[in-house]
């Protein structure tokens, strides 16, 4: 937001795990988590997350030439939750029921309009083990307050029973009401670049709260807007394998980008 709206404020910015698409970032958790809250058949208990993660690693870890429990390029990972389907009529710690297969496919899939237009990406393959959205029985974190307090201005508003997760009416309502104030999705960073500003964007692929795929899509939009050569003069992007939201996880975090003990920072 600083680079887009206030390009004169900083000469250099480090933006880590940024929730710049705020409305989309508050709708995606509901899209993922609420089906399991409404229908127990689509609830994926935390006891199964590690088993799923191990299957994802088995399918995709070695694709980068090194078996190290890290997936360098989740987009290249073709793991299909259906490959873990339980035998008909059965359930188990290392397999998924039909409803759980549906839930995991939803977790990885983008949110789209009826015409196929993507409004928010799914979550990367490999992030399932750290997810703060799978296996929860009630709304939590920012999205728990965003819908009742900000969008509907009604503390009694019940997300689980009322939010539209079969369509995009609530997403569109929120975007129309607060998108202009809350969201920072403009790919035009020319004013920041023109004054000599430098931007480092980094995001952990295992971010449990904010899909790193949204950061990737924003960076692509910037490149499309100003060109790859121009982008290289002022912006660098690092997508960190195995790293959670701003810190933690199984992957390395360069301390010069993220000092030990600090959360997301911009400065």
- End-to-end Cα separation, the chain, in angstroms: 12
Q: Are 61 and 148 part of one and the same domain? A: yes
Average pLDDT over residues 116-125: 97
Taking the C-alpha atoms of residue 221 and residue 15, their distance in angstroms, rounded to an integer, is: 17
Q: Are 55 and 160 part of one and the same domain? A: yes
Average pLDDT, the chain: 94
User: How would residue 267 be classed by pLDDT, with cut points 50, 70 and 90?
Assistant: very low
Q: Which of 182, 216, 249 is the last residue of a domain?
A: 182
User: How would residue 250 be classed by pLDDT, with cut points 50, 70 and 90?
Assistant: confident
pLDDT digits (tens, 9 = 90+) for 189-246: 999 999 999 999 999 999 999 999 999 999 999 999 999 999 999 999 999 999 999 8
Q: How many domains does the chain have?
A: 2
Q: Are 210 and 159 part of one and the same domain? A: no
**Residue 259 pLDDT greater than 80, yes or no:** no
- Please, what's the b/e burial string for 190-215 (b: 16 or more CB within 10 A of its CB; e: otherwise)? eebbeeebbbebbbbbbbbbbbbbbb
Q: What percent of the chain has pLDDT over 90?
A: 91
Q: Are 37 and 141 part of one and the same domain? A: yes
pLDDT digits (tens, 9 = 90+) for 164-185: 999 999 999 999 999 999 999 9
Average pLDDT over residues 58-64: 95
183, 22 in Cβ contact below 8 A?
yes
**Residue 153 pLDDT greater than 60, yes or no:** yes
**Residue 260 pLDDT greater than 60, yes or no:** no
User: Nearest Cα to 152, choosing from 144, 50, 18?
Assistant: 144
Inside any domain, residue 204:
yes
User: How would residue 266 be classed by pLDDT, with cut points 50, 70 and 90?
Assistant: very low
Q: Are 40 and 156 part of one and the same domain? A: yes
**Cα angle for residues 104, 107, 113 (degrees, 5° grid):** 125
Higher pLDDT, 252 or 122: 122
Q: Are 150 and 167 part of one and the same domain? A: yes
248, 258 in Cβ contact below 8 A?
no
Q: Are 27 and 100 part of one and the same domain? A: yes
Phi first, then psi: what are they for 231, rounded to 5°? -60, -40
Cβ neighbours around 257 below 10 Å, total? 13
The residue whose two tokens read 């202009």 is 180
Please give the pLDDT value at position 246. 83
pTM of the model: 0.93
4: DSSP letter: H
3 state SS of 192: helix
Q: Are 26 and 85 part of one and the same domain? A: yes
Please give the pLDDT value at position 8. 96
Taking the C-alpha atoms of residue 41 and residue 227, their distance in angstroms, rounded to an integer, is: 46
Please give the pLDDT value at position 254. 62
Q: Are 29 and 12 part of one and the same domain? A: no
Q: Are 35 and 147 part of one and the same domain? A: yes
Domain span at residue 214 reads 2-20+184-240
Taking the C-alpha atoms of residue 209 and residue 142, their distance in angstroms, rounded to an integer, is: 10
**Cα angle for residues 205, 239, 6 (degrees, 5° grid):** 115
pLDDT digits (tens, 9 = 90+) for 23-51: 999 999 999 999 999 999 999 999 999 99
**Residue 95 pLDDT greater than 60, yes or no:** yes
């Amino acid at each position: 937001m600083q680079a887009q709206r206030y390009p004169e404020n900083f000469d250099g910015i480090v933006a880590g795990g940024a929730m710049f698409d705020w409305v989309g970032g508050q709708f995606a958790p509901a899209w993922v988590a609420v089906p399991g809250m409404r229908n127990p058949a689509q609830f994926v208990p935390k006891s199964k997350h590690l088993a799923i993660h191990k299957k994802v690693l088995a399918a995709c870890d070695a694709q980068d030439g090194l078996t190290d429990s890290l997936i360098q390029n989740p987009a290249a990972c073709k793991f299909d939750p259906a490959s873990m389907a339980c035998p008909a009529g059965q359930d188990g710690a290392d397999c998924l029921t039909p409803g759980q297969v549906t839930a995991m496919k939803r977790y990885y899939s983008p949110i789209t309009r009826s015409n196929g237009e993507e409004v928010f990406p799914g979550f990367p393959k490999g992030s399932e083990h750290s997810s703060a959205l799978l296996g929860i029985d009630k709304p939590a974190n920012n999205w728990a307050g965003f819908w009742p307090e900000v969008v509907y201005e009604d503390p009694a508003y019940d997300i689980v029973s009322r939010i539209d997760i079969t369509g995009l009416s609530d997403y569109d309502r929120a975007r129309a009401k607060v998108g202009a104030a809350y969201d920072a999705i403009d790919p035009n960073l020319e004013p920041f670049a023109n004054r000599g500003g430098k931007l480092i964007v980094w995001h952990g692929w295992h971010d449990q709260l904010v899909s790193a795929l949204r950061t990737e899509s924003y960076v692509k939009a910037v490149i499309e807007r100003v060109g790859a050569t121009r982008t290289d003069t002022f912006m660098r992007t690092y997508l960190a394998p195995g790293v959670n939201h701003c810190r933690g996880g199984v992957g390395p975090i360069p301390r010069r980008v993220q000092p030990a003990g600090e959360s997301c920072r911009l400065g």
